[in-house]
Amino acid sequence: MNLTGSDQIVSKLQALLSYDASSPLIFSSGLFLFLLAAFLLLYSRLRYAPTARIFYVILFSLYFYYKSSGLYFLLLILAATSDYWIARGIHRVQNRAGRRWLVALSVAVNLGMLGYFKYTNFFVEAANNLFGEGFLQFQNIFLPVGISFFVFQSLSYTIDIYRGQLQPLRNWPDYLFYLSFFPQLVAGPIVRARDFIPQIRRNPLVVTREMFGTGVALILIGLVKKAIISDYISLNFVDRVFDEPLLYSGFECLMGIYGYALQIYCDFSGYSDMAIGIALLLGFRFPKNFDAPYKAATITEFWRRWHISLSTWLRDYLYIPLGGNRKGRIRTYGNLLVTMLLGGLWHGAAVRFILWGGLHGAALALHKLWMRLVPGAKATGREMHWWVRIPGILLTFHIVCLGWLMFRADTMQTVELMLRQIFDHFDARIIPQVIEGYTGVFLLIALGYLLHMLPASADRLARQTVARAPLALQVVLAAAVIWCVMQVKSSDIQPFIYFQF
């Protein structure tokens, strides 16, 4: 059936305004880049109108979240309303016990939401397995995109006010702006209120040439990481190996794990780069979320470089309140283990996530013990001689890869099968044949790791070169990157991995 011009316009508007669960709006999609360009046109006219700017960004942010999670954008509004009023209550109440009850209420509301949407399916399934199918009748509960991120972000606000480190906002729209700000809404970084709130009502809004250029550079780098490297090696190699490990040799299984380590880094850090870059275009500065984590020479250093906003959140709001390292050695090791177990559980209610967190918690505790027992042992590679740092990087990387194997595998049986293939059926004779069959994949994996291991000065130089380039050259670079994305991209849009958390 042929549609008239007006019918086609109506159809496109309906698609633009409706939620499609099979195609959530993500940063690397052409639709988002088009919407962002249109959004920026009006945004740039609101430099001297902070109130209008705030409402404009809120509306776009809620629309963005609606296109990612449907009507669950109402949950975001509920969380913002709840913690806004609780925070004001904490500030007004002088009684210590009253303040404690209010911050406990905030924790209960936020973790209650997180627990219901994230863990109900797990407990229902476990109960049915234990007591028989049909013991509990629940429909499968949809996990709203990014709920783990905005819950942690909102909790940091009320806890900081309880600690006296922050004054509560006087306007509810300002808090909704903070919690719903679309660049970091669905997959972080987890931005602290004390870092973000002072930037909200600046008048005039200032986006310097350096901020604009760096923002463009970060967006392009993020697109390359996500849409070229991560998506390509995932669709053409990694997913196949993890889906049917018995069909592949031990070498292919090992390369599948190495590939996933690069895939999840490029996917998640690519999103973070784009989020930080978009925020810069809007006049906001976010802290760095990744710092070349596979250069880490110890597991402690890895967690100072990987998902920095989450690791510092866990440190400040979980590890230190548990006692940190102030209660003796045994308690310190226990606190590390508990923190990382809960960090694993934050990713999802599954044995594999708990084991992943347990592995990292045990590794962190053992490293602390190692530094205590071995004279001259260091916390980071920067403090080591090169002949110690290089073995440390290799050891740390393989500990992390073992964790990624558990993190990615659908079941623990897959973990067992892949390890058995690696140790019992490696078959080095077929390596040249495998490399020839997956030439493009292995070239991208090698390129990805090579770029990752370059000195930090090379990374800074690349960003500065793009940031300082004339606008016309930046446009050409953007067109070239988008063209490359279109050449390698599957017709199926790949959601960001951390959308599921």
The answer to whether residues 384 and 396 touch, using CB atoms and an 8 Å cutoff, is: no
**d(C-alpha 22, C-alpha 425), whole Å:** 38
Residue type, 65: Y
Assess whether 347 carries a catalytic annotation.
yes
Q: What DSSP letter does each residue of 477-491 carry, written as one string?
A: HHHHHHHHHHHH--S
Query: Which tokens in the block code for residue 115?
Result: 């627990």
Nearest to 192 by CA among 145, 147, 151, 154: 154
CA distance 47 to 395: 50
Residues 6+ apart with CB under 8 A from 277: 214, 215, 216, 217, 218, 219, 221, 222
Structure tokens belonging to residue 363 = 């590794």
Token pair 């994996």 is at which residue?
A: 445
Specify the amino acid at residue 425. Answer: H
Q: Check: CB of residue 251 under 8 Å from CB of residue 426.
A: yes
Q: How far is CA 178 from CA 84, 150, 172, 421, 481, in A?
A: 11, 10, 10, 48, 31
- Nearest one of 265, 274, 269, 303 to 289, comparing CA atoms: 269
**DSSP string over 189-245:** ----HHHHGGGTT-SS----HHHHHHHHHHHHHHHIIIIIIIHHHIIIIIHHHHH-G
Q: 91, 307, 347, 452: which is the annotated catalytic residue?
A: 347
Rounded CA-CA distance 264/86 in Å is 36
Token representation of residue 319: 């590890």
Identify the burial level of 93 via C-beta atoms within 10 angstroms of its C-beta, where 0-12 means exposed, 13-18 middle and 19 or more buried. Answer: middle
Contact 259, 207 (CB under 8 A): no
H helix runs in 282-411, sequence order: 299-305, 308-314, 320-322, 329-347, 351-373, 386-408
Active site residues: 347
